[in-house]
Chains A and B, each alone.
Chain A
Amino acid sequence: MVSFLIRRVVQAILVMLAVAFLSFSMFNYAGDPVNNMVGQEASREDRAELRERLGLNDPFPVQFARFVGNAIQGNFGISYQLQRPVADLIAERMPATLELVLVSAILALSTGIPLGVYCGIARHSWLSRFFLTISLVGVSLPTFVIGIFLIYIFAVTLGVLPSFGRGGVVELGWWKTSFLTADGWRSLIMPAITLSLFQTTLIMRLVRAEMLEVMRTDYIKFARARGLSNRAINFGHALKNTLVPVITIAGLNIGALIAFSIITETVFQWPGMGLLFIQAVSFADVPIMSGYLVLVALVFVTINLIVDLLYYAVDPRLKVDRGTSAGRIA
C-alpha cells in the first residue's frame, strides 16, 4: 500500500515535469517573449539588456529549473496583456470554474447513476429504451449546441433565466461564490446543465452496461437463490461491483469538466478559468496559457491519484498483500 502510493506519487511528479516542460517550451516557440514585452521603438541594446535581465541567455536547463522552481511556488510570471501576475488572475477566476464543475459533477453523478441502474435492471421497459435514446442525443450533440439551444429556449424565448455571467456573487474572503444568492443559482443552472449533459449520459450508459454485465454473474444468481430482496441485490451487490469502472470514468471526467469548461464558459460568458484561457489564446498571452496548462495537468494528476486510492476503498482484493492472496488461491 505504502510502496504503491510512493510509486504513484513518483509517476505523478514525472507527468507534471513533462507538462511543465511543454508549457515552458511555449515561451520559446510561441513568439519571442522579449518582443511581446517591449514596444516597437525599443532599441537593440534595450532588448539585449532585458534578455540578460530575464535570464533568457542562460543555458536551457538553468532556465527550465528556474521555471519549475517558480511554478512550484505558484509563480507563472506576469500576463503580457493584463500586466498582472498570472497566479492572481487564475486564483480570481478559479472559484467560478470550480463551482460550475462541482455542480455539474454532482448533477451528472446523481442523475447518471440512478438512470443507469434503472436501465440496467429494467432493460426491456419502454422507459429505459426512452432514456437510452435520449442519452444518444446527449452523447452526440456538441456542448455549444446544447448551450445555445438552452439559451434560445430559456433566456430568449421564455426569458426566465439569464443568458450570461454569474449573476449575484457573495465574497467569502477571496472566494466569490454564487451559491448564496438566488440570482447566482439562476445563472448557474444553464451552464451546469450544459456542462453535465455529456457526462450524465456517459455515466448512465456506463453504469447500464456494467449492471447488465454484473447481473449475469453467479454471485447475483446466488444472492437471488438466498432470497435477498431486490433492493439488496440491485444496490448492495450489483451496484457496488459496477463502481470500480464508474469511479475511473467519473474521476477522469471531473478533470475533463475542468479542462473542457472552456466551451461552456465561452457560450455563457462565465467568468472562469476557461474564459480566461480562451482570451489569453487570442492575445498569445503565453504566461496565462502555460499557467493554465500546468494547473489543469495538476488537477488531472491529483484526481487520478484519488481514484487509485478509491479502488482500494471499494475492492478488498487489492488490500491484501499480493503474495499472500495469490498463495491462498493456488
Chain B
Amino acid sequence: MPLLEVENLVVEFPTRRGTLTAVNDISLHIDEGEVLGVVGESGAGKSMTGAAIIGLLEPPGRVAGGKILLEGERIDNLPYEKMRRIRGKKIGAIFQDPLTSLNPLYSVGRQLVETIQTHTDMTPTQARERAIDLLREVGIPAPERRIDQYPHQFSGGMRQRVVIALALCVNPRLIIADEPTTALDVSIQAQIIALLKRLCREHGTAVMLVTHDMGVIAETADRVAVMYAGRIAEIGPVREVIKNAKHPYTHGLMGSIPSIGHDNERLEQIPGAMPRLTDIPQGCAFNPRCPHTFDKCRTVRPDLLPVEDSWTACWLYDGEDGRTIEASKKLVAETKADALLEKNDG
C-alpha cells in the first residue's frame, strides 16, 4: 500500500466571476521513503496540490472532489482538529521562504520545543535535548548556543536548516517541500537539497518535492510528475521522464534548461504562456502551444495513458490512426526551437 494516495483530486476557488479549477482531477501516489518531484510553471497547480494534501488550502479554496488517503485512511474530509494532529506529526511541510517561515519574536529553540511538545509527551527538558540534537543533525554549528537565538540571527541557509529541523522534529512519514530552495543562493541550494535528501533517507521519510527547477528534480527525485494547467501531463520514474520525455510539454521543459558546455545552439523555449485558470482551452490544455496539435487535441481532454515506463496525457500515444509510440516519440524528440517559433509566428 502506498503511503499517500491522491485520487481524482479537484481543487476549486469560488470567485465572483465563477469557479476557478486550480487542480483538475489529478491522481498520484507516493510510496514509503520515496521522493516524488512535482514540476511545472507557476500556476500549474503544484503548490495547490501540496496545500490540499496537508489540509491548508487558503480559503475560499477547497477540495471539490476526489480523495486523499494517508496510510489507507482518508484525510481530506477530517475535522480541523483531527487534521491538525496529523500535520507536523505524520505530514511535515517546508515552505519556499525560510526568511519568513519562522516567527521573528520567538527563539528557534522555543519554536522547536513547542512543536515537539505539541505532538509528544516529552517534558520541557527532554524536548530541549531533542531540539539541540535536531539542530546538530541539520548541521547547525554550536547548537547548544544557537538554540536560544532568534531567527534574525541566522543566515538564509541556516534558517532553512532550522525550518527542516522543525518539519522533521517528530519524524513525519511524509514531507511536502514547496520550493524549498527557490529563495536561496545557488551555492546554498545544493547544500539544502543534499541535507534534505540525506535526512529523509536516514529517517525513511517520503518527500513530495514541489519545484520548477528540473535540475533539483533530476538530482533528487525517484519519480517525477509534470503538471500543466492543473493537470498531470506526464508522470513516471525520473530517468524515464527526463531522458525519454514523451509529452511535448515535458520535452519543451527539458529543452529550456540551460546547460554549460553542451552546444552553442539557442535555448529552446515553449512559445506562448500557460493559459489562465479562467480560460483553459477545450481538449488538451496544452494544444495552443503544442507543435503537434491535431483535431482530437482541440476537442477531447486526454487522460494519462501508459507509455513504456511512464504515463502521459497526450493523444499522440493513443495508438489510433496508425500513430505508433515509436513514431510519436521521434516526432516529439526532433522538434526544435525553430519549428516551435515558426509556428508561433504563423
Contacts and interface: CB of A to CB of B under 8 A. Distances in A.
User: Could you tell me the dominant secondary structure of chain A's interface residues?
Assistant: helix
A329 B115 CA distance: 25
Contacts of B152: 316-317, 320, 325, 328-329
Interface string A195-224: 000000000000000000000011101111
Interface stretch (A18-26, A94-102, A227-235): A227-235
A315 interface: yes
Interface in B74-105: 84-89, 92-93, 95, 97, 100-105
A219 B89 contact: no
A228 B80 CA distance: 12
B153 A223 contact: no
B132 interface: no
Interface in B98-122: 100-107, 114-115, 118-119
A228 B114 contact: yes
Which of A218, A230, A236 has the most CB atoms of chain B within a 10 A radius of its CB? A218
A55 to B, nearest CB: 55
Given A222-B95, A222-B102, A229 B118 contact: yes
A42 interface: no
Given A217-B100, A316-B150, A328-B154, A227 B95 contact: no
A73 to B, nearest CB: 43
Contact of A227 (B97, B103, B107, B115): B115
B102 A219 contact: yes
B118 A227 contact: yes
Contacts of A316: 104-105, 107, 150, 152
Contacts of A229: 84, 118
Given A316-B105, A317-B104, A225 B95 contact: yes
Contacts, number: 85
Given A225-B54, A228-B118, A240 B105 contact: yes
Given A218-B100, A241-B103, A325-B152, A225 B84 contact: no
B172 to A, nearest CB: 9
A314 interface: yes
Given A221-B95, A232-B114, A325-B152, A227 B88 contact: yes
B87 A227 contact: yes
A66 to B, nearest CB: 49
Contacts of B95: 218, 221-222, 225
Nearest to B104: A317
Given A224-B87, A225-B56, A226-B87, A232 B118 contact: yes
Contacts of B155: 328-329
B127 interface: no
B166 interface: yes
B163 interface: yes
Contacts of B88: 225-228
A246 to B, nearest CB: 13
A316 B87 CA distance: 28
A137 to B, nearest CB: 29
Interface in B39-87: 54, 56, 84-87
B54 A223 contact: no
A142 B22 CA distance: 49
Contacts of B103: 219, 223, 237, 241
Interface residues of B, number: 32
A219 B100 contact: yes
Which of B85, B95, B107 has the most CB atoms of chain A within a 10 A radius of its CB? B95
Given A219-B100, A221-B56, A317 B86 contact: no
A91 to B, nearest CB: 41
B153 A225 contact: no
- Interface size on A, as a range, is 20 to 34
Nearest to B54: A225
B105 A226 contact: no
Contact of B115 (A218, A226, A315, A317): A226
A257 to B, nearest CB: 28
Which of B56, B87, B118, B152 has the most CB atoms of chain A within a 10 A radius of its CB? B152
A221 B166 CA distance: 13
Which of A219, A223, A325 has the most CB atoms of chain B within a 10 A radius of its CB? A219
Nearest to B116: A226
B158 to A, nearest CB: 9
Which of A222, A237, A320 has the most CB atoms of chain B within a 10 A radius of its CB? A222
Interface in A304-330: 314-317, 320, 325, 328-329
Interface string B9-43: 00000000000000000000000000000000000
Contacts of B85: 227
Nearest to A218: B100
Contacts of B101: 218-219, 222
Contacts of B150: 316-317
Which of A221, A241, A325 has the most CB atoms of chain B within a 10 A radius of its CB? A221
Contacts of B93: 222, 225-226
A232 B114 CA distance: 9
A84 B97 CA distance: 67
Interface in B160-191: 163, 166-167
18 contacts: A219-B100, A222-B93, A222-B101, A222-B102, A222-B163, A225-B93, A226-B87, A226-B115, A227-B84, A227-B87, A227-B89, A228-B88, A228-B115, A232-B114, A237-B103, A315-B105, A316-B107, A317-B152
Given A225-B87, A241-B103, 19 more contacts: A217-B100, A219-B100, A219-B103, A222-B95, A225-B93, A225-B95, A226-B115, A227-B87, A229-B84, A237-B106, A240-B105, A241-B104, A316-B105, A317-B150, A317-B152, A325-B152, A325-B153, A328-B153, A328-B154
Closest 9 CB pairs of A and B: A227-B88, A225-B93, A227-B87, A218-B100, A226-B88, A316-B150, A222-B101, A219-B103, A226-B115
Interface of A: 217-219, 221-230, 232, 236-237, 240-241, 314-317, 320, 325, 328-329
